[in-house]
Amino acid sequence: MKTRKRSACKTALAVALAGGLFAGTAHAQLAGHNVVLVHGFQQEDLADPPANLDAVKSAGEDYWRTFWLSRSDARIDWGSDGRVEGNIAQQAYQQLRQISQQGLCNDYCIVVSHSTGDLVTRYLLENQARWLQAEGLQPLRILAAIDYSGAGGGTELADLAMSIAYNDSWYNWPLKQAVRAFTGIEPEPGKLGVVNDLQTNAARNLAVSPNNIPRLRFVAGGSSYGGITKPFIAGTDDGVVPTHSACGATTSSGIDSCSSNLSLAGKVSSQNGPSDLYYNHFPILMNEGVSHSGVLGSETGNISVPVVNNTTLNGLQVDFASRTYNKRAWWQWWGSGDRYVEVPGSDQTDMSTLVYNTLNN
Amino acid sequence: MPLRALLTLTLVISGAIGLGYLLAAENPARFAWSDGIKHAEPRPDSPASHSPDLSRNPSPPPKPEPPDDALGFMLASAAQQYTQNIRYPEYSIPLSEEQAKAYRGNRFEPIELPLEGDGIFTVTLEKYRFVQDEDILVVATITGSSVVADSLEVTLESTEARRQHASSSLTRNPSEDYYEGIIQADAEPGEYRLIVEASIDGKPVRHASTLMIEPDLGEFEGVGSPRVSNNDLVIPVQFDANEPGFYALSAQLYHNGRAVAQLQDEKRLDGTTDTLELKAHGSVLANRKITGELELRHLQIRRLPARPGDRTDYGFGPEEGYSFSPPDLDGLTDSPASDPESEQRAALLHKLADKF
C-alpha cells in the first residue's frame, strides 16, 4: 500500500501526459524482458473512489513514480474500492487485453508487484490464459514475478478492519487508530473495497492453486504510520504486510523471518521461520529497516539480507563467511559479537535500485 | 575494618570480572538477552530442516570463494530450485505435509480480535466455504480478565446488501472455556459476514469475519478405472455438473496416510462429458514402493469465471475421498516432465543467474 496526494490538476496533467496505457519508455526492460507493474492498495480510493478507468490509471502511474515507472513497459492498474473478483478483474483485463494485442509479453515479461498487487497478480495469472484465448488472443507469457512486500497471504489489519467496521466508535482506541491509518477511512461495512480480499482467510482461499510461474519475494520489516500498526500484526511485519505473507508462507501463523537461521536483520541465529512455503515461492531478500512503501525506491540506508536457506549451488558449497560481519551489541563488553549476513553495500541504495541494477548489469 | 574493605573490594572486582565474562561476545551460548520469541522447531519435511544450521557452525573450514554478488547468488539459487520443481508437471506436484494442508483449500484459520486490556476474542470455523443449508459450527473463546456473559449472539449477514439471514446463540461449554453453537447457511450463494457479539464488561463487542456460501455445482459420482499412460497414472473422476462451464478439479493423492502429490485438471464440462482426468506423473510415484490402495482426498472443483468480474464457485468431494487399487505401476519412471514453456522459463532464469 502506498498513499498518494491527489488533486484535480495533477490528475488531469497526468492523464494528459500518459496519453494511453503504456507509460514506460521504449527501452525500459529488466534483464532484456519487458516489465509489467501491478500496484498495491491505494487507500484514497476508499475515501474517494476513482470516477473511471482514466482516474485509476492516473493513480497507478503516480504510485510507481519514485522508481519503477520509467523502467516499465506496461502497467495493470486497478481501483482499491473494488473487489478482486469484481471491478478489479474487469479493469485489469482491459489492460491485459491491450498488453496481449501489443505482443509485449511474447518474449516473456517480468511482473513487478507491490503489496496487494501480489494477490491481484496471482488471481490474474490463474485466469488470464482462458479469458484471452476465448477472444482469440495470445496469453501473456510471464518469466517471473518480483513481489515486493507481497500481501497475497493477507494482513491481520484487514481482519481487524472488518470488526472495527461493526463496532461502536468507543471501541479499543489504539486498535481503531491502527485500522484508520491502514484504511485511511472510518471503517464502515460495505466501504472497504479490496480490504475485504486482504483478510487472511479470504486471501488464502483465492486462486491459490500451484503453478509454474516463479514468485521472487522481497520482504520488508520497517515501520509505517509511526509504528502504531505493528502491535496488531502477527509476527514481524513492515507496518502493513506480515512477514508470513511477504515470504509466501503456507499459513498465517506469525513468523519472524523467511529463514529459520537468519533474522530480518541478517543475524545468524535460530528464528521462528515459515514451516513451509507455497510452491515456486522463493524469498530472495529481507530488509529489517525498510518500510512497506520504502521498498519501491524511496528509502536508503537499510541493509538487505539474502535469504540463505541452502548454501549449495550447482553442487558447490558456498561459504558466505566472506560477506558476513560481526557486530557487538552495547551490552557485550568485549569480543567479536554476533554474526550477520548481508548484501554488501545494500545500505548505500534502496531495494528497488538494488534489484534493477543487479539484473541489468 | 580494613579487612572488610579488602573483602568488599575483592567481591566487587570478582563480580565485575564474572559479569564481564557473562557479557562477553564470545559467550552467547551461556548468556543472551531473551528476545521473547518462541522459536518453532523446523518440521522434518520443511525446506528449513534441510538447511545447514549456520549458528552451530561459527568457524567452518575454508570453502570455495562465493560469487561476488549475494543477490546474484540468491537468483542463481532460485533458478536452481525452480529447475528442480519443473521436473514435476504443473498437474502433479509433490507435497510436504505443510503444503498439503495449504493446498487442500477451504481452510479457515482462527481470527483474533484484541480486546481492551489483555484479552483476545477469537472465532474459529471448520472451513471457509459452506454449501447452502449446511450447518456452520462456530467456536469462540474470550481470554483476559473481563467479565463476559454466558452466551454470545451470532448472526449471518450478506456483505453486499447487509441483510441478516440467520441468527443463533453460542453457549459456554460448561467444562471447557469456550463458546460454541450452530448457525445454518440458509442463504443464497455469496459472501457473508459472520458477526459474533459478546457482552464484555457490560459493553457489546462484535467480532466480524467472512465466510462464503457456495452454490450446488453438481455431484461427484466416483472414480473410473485408473490406467497408466505416457508416464502418468491417469485417474478419471466423474462429476455431473449442473451447468456447463470451465471447471478445475484438484485433489491430493495419498498413500499409507501420507500426501504424495497435488493433482489438478481443467476442462470444459458441457453435458457431453462428465469426466475430468487427474494424472499422477511418474516423477512423484516411481521412487515409492506403492503397496495396496491409493486414495484421492480433499477433492475440490471450481467453476472458473467465464468473464472477468464473475466469481469462482466451489464444490467439494466426499469427506472420505476415494480409494482405488492402482494398476501395475512398474512402467512409471522418475524422468522429468516436459513442459516447453517452463523449460524456457528455467533457461531464462539461469541465463539471468549465470551473470554472477
Q: What is the pLDDT of residue A169?
A: 64
Answer yes or no: is pLDDT of B35 > 60. Answer: no
CB–CB of B71/B355 below 8 Å?
no
* Three-state secondary structure of A207-266: CCCCCCCCEEEEEECCCCHHHCCHHHCCCCECCCCEHHHHHCECCCCCCCCCCCCECCCC
Phi, psi of A351 (to 5 degrees): -65, -35
Q: Whole-prediction pTM value?
A: 0.87
pLDDT confidence tier of residue A339, bands split at 50, 70 and 90? confident
* Residues A212, B65: C-beta atoms closer than 8 Å: no
Residue with the larger pLDDT of the pair A292 and B272: A292
Q: For the packed helices A53-63 and A89-101, what is the interaxial angle rounded to 10 degrees?
A: 80
Rounded to a whole number, what is the distance in Å from the CA of B324 to chain A's nearest CA?
A: 24
Give the whole-angstrom CA distance, residue A77 versus residue B234: 41
- The whole-number pLDDT of residue A22 equals 39
pLDDT computed for residue B42 by the predictor: 31
Test B128 with A307 for CB contact under 8 angstroms: no
Q: How confident is the model at residue B6 (pLDDT cuts 50, 70, 90)?
A: low
Q: How confident is the model at residue A276 (pLDDT cuts 50, 70, 90)?
A: very high
- Report the pLDDT averaged over residues B241-270: 96
For A107-142, write each residue's pLDDT tens digit.
Answer: 999 999 999 999 999 999 999 999 999 999 999 999
Distances in Å between the Cα of A164 and the Cα atoms of A63, A142, A177, B138, B139 are: 28, 39, 10, 20, 20
The grid coordinates of residue B192 equal: 457473508
Question: What number of C-beta contacts closer than 8 Å exist between A and B?
Answer: 291
- The SS3 assignment for A300 reads coil
Residue A9 C-alpha, separation from nearest chain B C-alpha, in angstroms: 31
For A140-198, the pLDDT digits (tens) are: 999 999 999 999 999 999 999 999 999 976 678 999 999 999 999 999 999 999 999 99
Residue A82 contacts B where some CB pair is shorter than 8 Å: no
Residue B3 φ/ψ, nearest 5 degrees: -65, -45
* Closest by CA position to B192, among listed A123, A251, A162: A162
Q: How far is A13 from chain B (nearest CA, A)?
A: 30
* Residues of chain B neighbouring A159 (CB-CB closer than 8 A): 111-113, 209
Which residues of chain A have a CB within 8 Å of the CB of B343? Answer: none
Confirm or reject contact between A195 and chain B (CB < 8 A): no
% pLDDT > 70, chain B:
80
Cβ-Cβ contacts under 8 Å, A253 against chain B:
109
* Mutant choice from A81, A95, A163 vs B, greatest count of B C-beta within 10 A: A163
Contact A90 B309 (CB under 8 A): yes
Beta bridge partners of B136: B183
The pLDDT value recorded for residue B30 is: 36
Euclidean distance between CA atoms A260 and A274, whole angstroms: 7
* Among the listed residues B68, B347, B110, the one whose alpha carbon sits nearest the alpha carbon of residue A159: B110
Q: Does A214 touch chain B (CB under 8 A)?
A: yes
Q: Residues of B with CB below 8 A from A212's CB?
A: 85-86, 90, 339, 341-342, 345
Nearest to B109 among A200, A282, A311 (CB): A200
The pLDDT value recorded for residue A297 is: 93
Place of cell 490528475: A11
List pLDDT tens digits, range B292-313. 999 999 999 999 999 999 999 9
What's the pLDDT at A171? 72
Burial class (CB in 10 A: 0-12, 13-18, 19+), A352: buried
Between vectors from CA B60 to CA B59 and to CA B63, what angle results, nearest 5°? 135
What HEC string does chain B produce? CHHHHHHHHHHHHHHHHHHHHHHCCCCCCCCCCCCCCCCCCCCCCCHHHHCCCHHHCCCCCCCCCCCCCHHHHHHHHHHHHHHHHCCCCCCEEECCHHHHHHHCCCCCCCEEEECCCCCEEEEEECCCEEECCCEEEEEEEEECCCCECCEEEEEEEECCCCCEEEEEEEEECCCCCCEEEEEECCCCCEEEEEEEEEEECCEEEEEEEEEEEECCCEEEEEECCCEEECCEEEEEEEEEECCCEEEEEEEEEEECCEEEEEEEEEEEECCCCCEEEEEEEHHHHCCCCCCCCEEEEEEEEEECCCCCCCCCEEEECCCCCEEECCCCCCCCCCCCCCCHHHHHHHHHHHHHHCCC
Cα separation, B68 vs B70, in Å, equals 7
φ, ψ for residue A33, nearest 5 deg: -120, 145
pLDDT at B110: 98
3-state secondary structure of A313: strand
State pLDDT tens for residues A200-251.
999 999 999 999 999 999 999 999 999 999 999 999 999 999 999 999 999 9
Q: Which of residues 24-63 of A touch B (CB under 8 A)?
A: 31, 33
CA–CA min distance B334, chain A (Å):
19
For A167, other C-beta atoms within 10 Å of its C-beta total: 21
Check residue B94 and give its pLDDT: 97
Tell which of B54, B112, B158 to mutate to test the A interface (max A CBs under 10 Å): B54
B354 strand-pairing partners:
none
Whether B65 has a pLDDT exceeding 50, the answer reads no
Q: Are the beta carbons of B209 and A314 separated by less than 8 Å?
A: no
Which chain B residues touch A272 with a CB distance below 8 Å?
37-40
Which has more confidence, A87 or A298? Answer: A87
| pLDDT of A266 | 92
CB B155 within 8 A of CB B167: yes
What's the mean pLDDT in B264-276? 90
Q: Do A282 and B81 touch (CB under 8 A)?
A: yes
- Given this model, what pLDDT does residue B40 score? 33
The arithmetic mean of pLDDT across residues A24-39, rounded, is: 80
Whether the pLDDT of residue A10 is over 50: the answer is no
Share above pLDDT 90 across residues of chain A, in percent, rounded to a whole number: 77
Q: What's the ipTM? A: 0.89
Is A169 an interface residue toward B (CB < 8 Å)? Answer: no
Task: Please tell me the least confidently modeled range out of A236-240, A279-283, A328-332.
Answer: A328-332
Of the given ranges (B30-44, B144-158, B249-263, B304-318), which has the lowest mean pLDDT? B30-44
- Per-residue pLDDT band for A13 (boundaries 50, 70, 90) equals very low
> What mean pLDDT do residues A280-289 have?
96
For residue A340, what pLDDT is reported? Answer: 86
Q: Do B111 and A200 touch (CB under 8 A)?
A: yes
Pull the grid cell for residue B72: 546474484
pLDDT over threshold 80, residue B44: no
Across the interface, of B20, B103, B111, the residue whose CB is closest to A159 is B111
Assess A175–B contact: CB distance below 8 Å, yes or no.
yes
Mean pLDDT of chain B: 85
Cβ-defined contact of B42 to A275 (cutoff 8 Å)? yes
10 Å Cβ neighbour count for A130? Answer: 16
Measured CA to CA, the distance from residue A4 to residue A113 in angstroms comes to 17
Record: contact A343-B71, CB cut-off 8 A: yes
Between A144, A175, A205, which is nearest B105 by CB? Answer: A205
Q: Which residue of A has its CA nearest to B266?
A: A130
A93–B115 CB contact, under 8 Å: no
Query: Which one of A94, A191, A209 would you mutate to disrupt binding with B, by most B Cβ within 10 Å of its Cβ?
Result: A209
Please give the pLDDT value at position B18: 57
- Of A333 and A239, the structure prediction assigns the larger pLDDT to A239
For chain A positions 295-314, those within 8 Å of chain B (CB to CB) are 304, 306-311, 313-314
Look at A323 and B70 and tell me if their CB atoms are within 8 Å.
Answer: yes
Q: How far apart are CA B279 and CA B268, in angstroms?
A: 17
